[in-house]
Every structure is written in structure tokens, then in C-alpha cells.
Structure 1
């Protein structure tokens, strides 16, 4: 880390600490703050701070830093060194600015520094200051998102089903499927062969969802073996398929099941489990995935 980076990182850390002391905020917890005596008696101050922490800081962080910046970071092939996220740091700038707007006074010098950081948020993307040069990036020209199901404060996540979720003026792109960063082929050229050779479980799940389970089963040439009601999982079914054996791979079967837990949007996700080829009974295969026998699995009152 260069001297300039050290100075800037230390200055920012000190600035945020001064803000946090003033409003009684902790980076690792969300307590009710010690509020200054301002003419806000008509407001429930504890509720107001909770609203600012959840509705501004956390929701903006999840939408902009965790989702959008996270998608960009996942696509990078090499470490970029210490830097700052520009517009993707809007969550903490907005949080302190919201307190200022409702009457909390931080002092002239502290607020002047906040204005400088707010200007970088409005003006640029990621940037890297060095002792002899400063590298700044443009902001993306394409950012495609979708609402996060069940979000109380309108959070969004990166998602595009027909192209890049994020694109820059020079043509650099990043892809996301319902908030999960994925390689370009998942969106633009998904095939059963690519799915079968993908080692990352999350990417494989997204690719199957992109293609659809029915489409994947057909294109992968899976052979239906058996079906059975899923004990402890309402009216869901267990479906067992034989998977064609590719050269150099071990024989296996696929158990298609339904998640016992409900997603935030009220649906239940379908997912596939790789199971040994000797299972002919879907219930036995499901029990094996939990380390149980089929009879033990059948006795479950409810699974998650």
C-alpha cells in the first residue's frame, strides 16, 4: 500500500468513526443511537434511526455494493489492489447524508469531507489512487436489475435473462442470474453439455434454471426411472433419472426434488441431486442424501 493509499484509507476510517460516534451507530450492530437534542420531538427517534439503517444503508448496500459491485468483482480475473468503489459506495454516504438532512449536525469540516465523497459517488465508478497516478473508471452504461422478492425496502439484485446485467462503454460485460454472478454462456449459450461439465454448483443451478428443468432433461438425454411422493414435503414429488455416462466419468443418477423451504417470493425451488446409480427407489435416494435409509426418511414429519 502506498503512502497516499494509507493516508486516504486512514482519513476515511477516521471520518466514518466520527460520524458513527455522533449518531451512535456501530458498523457491526444496529443499536438505537444516542441522538443529539434536536427539535425532532414529534418523531420516534429509535424508529427513525431503524428506518435509516434498514431502508437506506442496508438496502442500498445490498442493491448496489453486494449485488451490482459483487457481480463486477466476480467477473474480474485478477486482483485489482486496494481501491474505492465510487458510485457503489453510495450506501454509507447516503446513510450519513440522510441523518444530516433530518437535522443532525456533524460539524463543518466533517460535512465538507462527506460532500467530497458524495461527489465521487455521483461522478465515477471504481478508482485507484496511487502516489504518481490516479486511475478512474467510467460508470457502467447498462445496469439491469430485478426486485428482490419479499424485500421490505425495495432492494434490487443484478439480473438479466437475455444479455449482460452490467456493461461498460468499452464493451466489458458481466452477467447475473437472479443476483448470482454467472459466466456469459449461462445467459447467451446455455447447453446441457456445458451444464454437465460445470464444477461450480451455484453456476450449474443457475444454468439449469435458465434452460428449465424440462428442457435440460430432454437435451441431456436423461432417462426416467421412477417417481414417488416426497415424505414430509407436502404434495411434492421425487423424480429419479438415469444420466448418460460420458467417457471418463462415473455412473450416476439424478434425483429431482423440491426444496422444503419456501423462497422469499412464496415459491419453492426445484433442484437436482447426484446420487449413486444403484438407487431405483427415489425415496431411498432422497434418504441417502441426508445420510438416512429410505425407511428413516419416510418417517420424517417435515424436511427443510
Structure 2
């Protein structure tokens, strides 16, 4: 029966250290430690009861990995992602649960491995942009051989990049087991994870097969905004050593030119953009002030709180902002104007300003202090 006990003050204090350590691992941009990663591959295969792969192939990023691994043949053997990662995770979790309560493990997991929006966004950007080359059932059979096991795999486990690889976000759960290994002394129970832990700290992505394991470098650039969304105001937000990159504005992937050549953003270019989110990013980059000044939006309503501006493209596709004046004058006596983007269904400036405070117009009307 698992032991139910409370963490000591020292153990509770260490939770923050492990949280920071694994956040740094997920967001690492230093070059991979190739010798450590290759040794970790052998440890991970051994922990899963598998022979080490005959070849380890390095790639300069996940796109290069996907391209090379897309040419797998029967000689490379089956994909082992589930065996190497998921099955070992399940078995170790069961061993740990026999020593400590699931409630304690859940508390450790929550503290050490909280949601990491930036790391998750980077992983999602990679998997979204990989050109999937899922094989047909016939194609998989041709590669795996005409056998019942090959037929079963082809029917229930179609190959995709996400299902065949593991990246930093896919291995983030290791942080909690690193903690129970080091702070709670469960070294024997977590020993099968030693290779995966070393891999997580040494490499970007991996795609393991029976006879070959592809490894990819970490990104050499990963940038986010204050809300941990992929973002960079003047360059790529995510970039790998092979040059593949993502340009993003406040969490929205945008074409490179929108950030690299801001001067090309015009009213005509904004109207020509069919992606609503990208279009709104273009207005933000141009700035709502300039967009309104150039005639991009129409004055809808005005009252003592400000001016409501809107631009309609289609019935359910519109942009709106409320223009407000700073209550505190500048040193020269002028007052700054601010444009706050708001939902396009609002009808009055008061309603729009109230929305920015999370209030209804009636409740906002009762406030003494206004922006």
C-alpha cells in the first residue's frame, strides 16, 4: 500500500527548483549534447528491453528529421515511440504509486510540471507545419511486410510525425519523476527513466525505430511575449539550426514579410488577407492609430468615454477599437490617445470601454475613475 505522508519543508522548497529546471529544459536553445544524447538513446532502449539501434542519425531540426524519417524502410524496423516513452512511463508510474500515494504524485506533478504555453506552442507549431506523409494501409504493408502484425499496425496505428516522435513538451512529465527520484529517494523505481531524462536534457526531438534512431537539434531561438505566446516584433519567434523558422505575432503564426517588412502593410494588403487572425495582427503592427488615420475604419459612436471605430468585411468578420484619451496630461499639456481593440459587436464607446474593464456599461458608469 502506498505511503501517505506530507512533504517536508525542505522538499516543498525544492519543488520550485525542479519546476525552474524543467522549464529551462523545455525552452533550451543551446546546441544538443550529442555524446550524452547518444548514450541516453542506448539507456532508453535498454530500459524498454530493446537492443540498441544500429544507427543514430542527427538532424539540424524537426523538419529535417521529418524529411529523413519519411523515407523509412523495412530495414529500419518498427517505430518504438510508444515502447520507449509511453510504456516505460506507465510502468514507472505504477512502481512509484506503490511507494507514495497518487495524491502526492499528482501534487508533485502539478508543482513541477505546470502548463507551459510557450513550450506547447512551439511543439504545436512544429507538428502543424510538418508535411504529413501518412502511409496508406497498402503502403505500410509493403514496408512492414505482408503479415498479420503488419496489417494490424497499418489499420490501428497510422504513422504521423506526432505519433512517431517525442519533443521537449512530450517529455516534460519527466520532471515530476526526477523530483521523486532525487528528493523522495525512489531511485530504483525511476531507474528506467534515466535514459529518457538524459535525452530530455540533451536533445530536441527523437524518432526511435528498431534499428535506427533519428535525433534533432533544439531550436536556437525561442521567443514569447509576456503571456508566453510565440512572439517576436522584428524576427522569427522560433528557429532551428537548419534555418526553418516560425514568424509569430502574439501567438498567431504570420507570413514572414508582415514582420520583416512592416512598411508593406497597407489598407489594401489588410483587406486582401483572408485569415481573420493574421489580418488583425497586420492592424496591430501598423497600429490601430495609423489604421484609423488612413481611413481603414469608420466612426460608429462617440460619447464622453471615447470614440468607437469599426471595420466590417463580412457579416461575421469585423474589427473594432475604442479610442480613449488619457486622463493625465503629458508635460506639454497634451493628452495621449489610446486605441483599445474590442469585440466588434459592441454598439457604444461606453460599452466598449466598460468591456476593457470586464464590466457592463451600467456598472462602468458608476466608476469615479476613468482612463
TM-score, scaled to structure 2: 0.51
Greater than 4 Å deviation, 4+ residue runs: 20-23, 272-275
Q: State the partner residue of 1:116.
A: 195
Structure 1 unaligned regions, length at least 5: 26-31, 35-48, 149-155, 230-234, 259-267, 276-280, 288-297
Give the count of matched residue pairs.
239
Equivalents in 2 of 1:15, 1:99: separation in Å?
11
TM-score norm. by structure 1 comes to: 0.61
Alpha-carbon shift at residue 183 of structure 1 (Å): 3.6
- In the alignment, the residues of structure 2 paired with residue 147 and residue 169 of structure 1 have an alpha-carbon distance, to the nearest angstrom, of 25
Q: Is the 8 A contact 1:138 1:169 kept in 2?
A: yes
- Per the alignment, residue 113 of structure 2 pairs with 57
- Secondary structure at the counterpart of residue 104 of structure 2: coil
CA contact (8 A) 1:165 1:174 kept: yes
Q: Are residues 1:205 and 2:275 paired? A: no
1:140-185 CA-partner distances (Å, limit 9, x unpaired): 111223443xxxxxxx443211101111111100123334444434
Match of 2:163 in 1: 82
CA distance in 2, matches of 1:80, 1:225: 48
Quote the residue 2:65 is aligned against: none
Question: Are the counterparts in 1 of residues 233 and 259 from structure 2 also a CA contact under 8 Å?
Answer: yes
Aligned to 1:271: 341
Give the CA RMSD over aligned residues: 4.2
Structure showing greater relative contact order (alpha-carbon pairs closer than 8 Å, 6 or more residues apart): 2
Q: How does 1:249-260 map to 2 (within 5 A)?
A: 255-257=320-322
More helix by share: 2
CA distance in structure 1 between the partners assigned to 2:210 and 2:361 by the alignment: 66
Structure 2: stretches of 5+ with no match in the other structure: 1-76, 133-159, 324-337, 353-359, 366-371
Q: CA deviation at 1:282?
A: 4.2
Q: Measure, in 2, the Cα distance between the counterparts of 1:218 and 1:187.
A: 21
1:72 to 100, 109, 126: 126
User: 1:209-288, aligned counterparts within 5 Å?
Assistant: 209-219=284-294, 221-224=296-299, 226-228=301-303, 235=305, 237-241=306-310, 255-257=320-322, 270-271=340-341, 273=343, 282-283=347-348
